[in-house]
Structure 1
Amino acid sequence: MSTLSFAARDSATMLRRNLKHLRRYPGMMIMSLGMPVLLLLLFVGVFGGVMQVGVGAGAYVDYLVSGILLMTVGYGASMTALAVNRDMTEGIISRFRTMAITRVSVLTGHVLGAVLRTLFSAVLVVAVALLFGFRPAAGFGGWLATLGMVLLLAFALTWLAVAVGLAAKNAEGANLFILFVQVLPFLSSAFVPTDTMSGAVRWFARNEPFTPIIDTLRGLMLGTSVSGSAWIAVAWCTGFALAGYVWARALFRRDPAA
């Protein structure tokens, strides 16, 4: 077998391991599924009437879904940071280092498992949004592009989460990634247009990484132009993915005794 074949086989084995862990730690899946749906219900059912004023024409749920999708990806990635950190602190990764397996497969298994969980969660969010009046205008191409954007974002944030999980000394340190994916969406175009914000907050919201990603997802699903945000969104996702991958590989190769 070639090196690539061994890597694919070992990655598939680690993916099965991570999927089996969902039965041992069901809270991870519940958090990944439950929190985005709860946020969707909260903002549509409780704050929707007030938020509608700032959004203008169209149902508020149509504006909201893209931001909730981003937070869905973020919650899924944050669970991966905790899972990787648990493997590090419990010594499992140290055991894997001594085994005759492709080293990167240990990390790849976490990433693939997280992307699959996130995709399932995203489908659930869209299904619930449809029940609450979400009416997308995207055609087949628009939905295909939306799927690609969600997968790229999940891949990028998950590699970043893996690196954070490896670097953190304990679960509390890994939780810093959760703060990152929880706070930044609230300072973006996820819930209201950035034009309704004031001063420095508006400037930050327009230039932070999540805003172009959210605007791109919204445009793809609602059938509006994404020419001003799509390339920026892809650039941010690519940067996150490369930074997370390089950082995670460097940390994983590091001698734990050094």
Structure 2
Amino acid sequence: MNQTLTGKISERKLRNRTSFLQALRNSLTMAYRGLLKIRRTPEQLFDVTFQPIIFTLMFTYIFGGAISGNVHNYLPVIIPGILVQSVITTSIVTGVQLREDMDKGVFDRFKSLPIARIAPLAGALLADTIRYTIATTLTFLMGYIMGYRPDGGLGCVVIAGLMVIVCSWCISWIFAFFGVMARNATSVQGISMLVLFPLTFLSNAFVPVETMPDWLQWFVKINPISHLVTAVRDLANSGSIGWDFSISLIGAAVIVIIFAPITVKAYMRKA
């Protein structure tokens, strides 16, 4: 009897392991599908290619002299801010494209395929990390062309970029939830911008907190975007890791813990 029970447990573990590996393979295949869509319609990358360049030029030359005296002194302030703003905004696309695929009936066709039901959602989230990487690389490259020389060194710049990519991926779970629950892609984009717009602009991304009214400073100081921007600045400009680095990663983990289960549950009900 014990041998029979042990055999059933081993068989169940093997089946679960096989199911997990199959789901992983299916998710990677769906991620590759997302990359193929980008290759066939490269205009999908306009937001992660032109936005960092335009925003960096615009904000630097408009606000640089007024805030830091000259453009060169403003670059260590604005480049981390533009980086966080550009990459975080890019994460909205996850929810928008997810909703578009559901509206077009693409996910209905996936139901008839012998694949894991979670694969289309997981694949979309994985594919969008490429978008975050492109936006991160172009922002730092644009800053370097304009004269930005991070004192933290290349290693700390890479760590800062990876941190922003990880945090953006975690935040994309929020917009994936909006994509599953909203009625159309336009609603997803509208709701997402309504959330992100005040968070990014009411932060320390573009101007020092001290220049803001006292009644506004309290919100800016607790704003999670401010913590992420400060963490990137500390890494890139001085090579240091402080409390803002830890709280940014903790906050990103909390977002995944909260939104990943409810997003998957909502998605599985509709898939």
The equivalent position to 1:131 in structure 2, one of 126, 137, 145, is 145
Which is worse superposed, 16-25 or 115-124?
Answer: 16-25
Instruction: Report percent identity of matched pairs.
Output: 26
Extract unaligned runs of 5+ from structure 2: 1-16
CA contact (8 A) 2:167 2:252 kept: yes
Check 1:25–1:177 CA distance in 2 against 1; reply closer, same or farther (3 A cut).
Answer: farther
User: Shift in Å at residue 14 of structure 1?
Assistant: 0.4
Residue 5 of structure 2: aligned partner: none
1:181 equivalent to 2:196? Answer yes
User: Shift in Å at residue 145 of structure 1?
Assistant: 2.5
Tell me the alpha carbon deviations over residues 112-138 of structure 1, each in whole angstroms, 9 at most, x when there is no partner.
111112102210111011011111012
For 1:200-239, what aligned pairs fall within 5 Å after superposition? 200-223=215-238, 225-239=240-254
What amino acid does structure 2 have at the position aligned with 1:126?
A: F
Q: TM-score, normalised by structure 1?
A: 0.90
CA contact (8 A) 1:32 1:79 kept: no
User: Shift in Å at residue 226 of structure 1?
Assistant: 3.7
Consecutive aligned runs of 4 or more in structure 1 exceeding 4 Å deviation: none
Residue 40 of structure 1: aligned partner: 56
Which is worse superposed, 175-184 or 216-225?
Answer: 175-184
Tell me the number of residue pairs that the alignment of Structure 1 and Structure 2 aligns.
254
Check 1:88–1:116 CA distance in 2 against 1; reply closer, same or farther (3 A cut).
Answer: same
Residue 243 of structure 1: aligned partner: 258
User: Shift in Å at residue 232 of structure 1?
Assistant: 1.3
**Bigger radius of gyration, 1 or 2?**
2
Q: TM-score, normalised by structure 2?
A: 0.86
CA contact (8 A) 1:73 1:153 kept: no
For 1:154-169, what aligned pairs fall within 5 Å after superposition? 154-169=168-183
For 1:1-258, what aligned pairs fall within 5 Å after superposition? 2-53=18-69, 59-175=73-189, 176-223=191-238, 225-255=240-270
CA distance in 2, matches of 1:228, 1:118: 24
What root-mean-square deviation, in Å, do the aligned CA atoms of Structure 1 and Structure 2 show?
Answer: 2.1
CA distance in 2, matches of 1:90, 1:130: 42
What amino acid does structure 2 have at the position aligned with 1:13?
A: T
Extract unaligned runs of 5+ from structure 1: none
Residue 10 of structure 2: aligned partner: none
Greater helix share, structure number: 2
